[in-house]
Amino acid sequence: MIRRLVHIFLLLVVIALATWRSAGGEDVAALADLWIFVICITVAVVDATLAIAASFTRRPVLEKVVWAGSFFTLGCMLWAVRALPSGVEEDTYNRIRHQQAENPYAQDEEGETLFTRAAALGKVRDLQRMIQQQPPTMDQLIAAGYRAAEGNHVAALEELVRVGLSAASAWEGSPLLHAAAQYGRCDAIRWLIMRGAAVNGRDAEGSTALIQAAQSGSTAAVRLLMELGADAKLRDATGLRAEDYARSGEMRDALTPPANPGGTKK
């Protein structure tokens, strides 16, 4: 009975750690993963040992085997998830993280910096450490904000705004809002507009965020921009409107102005 209660308690601890890791940053996740793995493997080894010992004394072993197998499987699954490839950008970041730790604003062969790569991946804790180590210039802030908008990382945008970035900023002639619209990043689109980005602002090519969203094929982004006051009649430098880039009837329907547009910003 006591052993069963211990198992239930440890299972609840694992669930609590899993919840904690999902709500925290990179460092929290790594610490939580370590503890989950240690608990699972320890319980599995102890239960397996007890099951083997009990088998020699001819005591019931089924429950011990079930608990051991459950925790061992959970631990192995966690290990497998941690070992899976994390993507090219994540792998590149991890590879150069220690190489560029002393100067996170130094450009690599691709023109990126550790700072912009951290923003692109939404690594808020890393951004905070870099900012504390050496405050970025405005250009570096804007470049990182552009990458955060591309990745839909609102928390990273909030951190960058905290130290001086403006939601209305533009990187090399392209507003942050356009970066979010180009990839259909609805969370970033809403966040940027609510914090002052011009919904009908243009980039260096005369394109609006709505046109960018239509070109990306994101009906959800088009619909959101229309709800927030985007003007579907505006044309880009080639004379085309957002509807000219629409790829489906659903998107053309989304480009119909709402009866009562809310949050209109010019």
Distance between terminal CA atoms of the chain? Answer: 68
In this structure, what DSSP letter does residue 202 have?
B
The pLDDT score that the predictor gives to residue 212 is 95
pLDDT tens, residue by residue, 236-257: 999 999 999 988 889 999 998 7
Band of residue 229 on the pLDDT scale cut at 50, 70, 90? very high
- Any bridge partners for residue 235, and if so which? 241
The pLDDT score that the predictor gives to residue 152 is 95
CA distances from 68 to 13, 51, 102, 103, 202 (A): 16, 9, 45, 47, 61
- C-beta atoms surrounding 111 within 10 Å: 8
SS3 for 86? coil
Mean pLDDT of 91-110: 81
The pLDDT score that the predictor gives to residue 66 is 58
pLDDT tens, residue by residue, 162-190: 999 999 999 999 999 999 999 999 999 99
Q: For residue 118, give the nearest of 85, 134, 96, 86 by alpha carbon.
A: 96
The pLDDT score that the predictor gives to residue 59 is 53
Distance CA 205, CA 10 (A): 58
What is the overall mean pLDDT for the chain? 81
With a cut of 50, say whether residue 213 has pLDDT above it.
yes
In this structure, what DSSP letter does residue 261 have?
-
Question: Which pTM value belongs to this model?
Answer: 0.66
Q: For residue 92, give the nearest of 66, 65, 112, 62 by alpha carbon.
A: 112
With a cut of 70, say whether residue 31 has pLDDT above it.
no
The pLDDT score that the predictor gives to residue 236 is 94
Structure token pair of residue 10: 């440890």
The pLDDT score that the predictor gives to residue 44 is 75
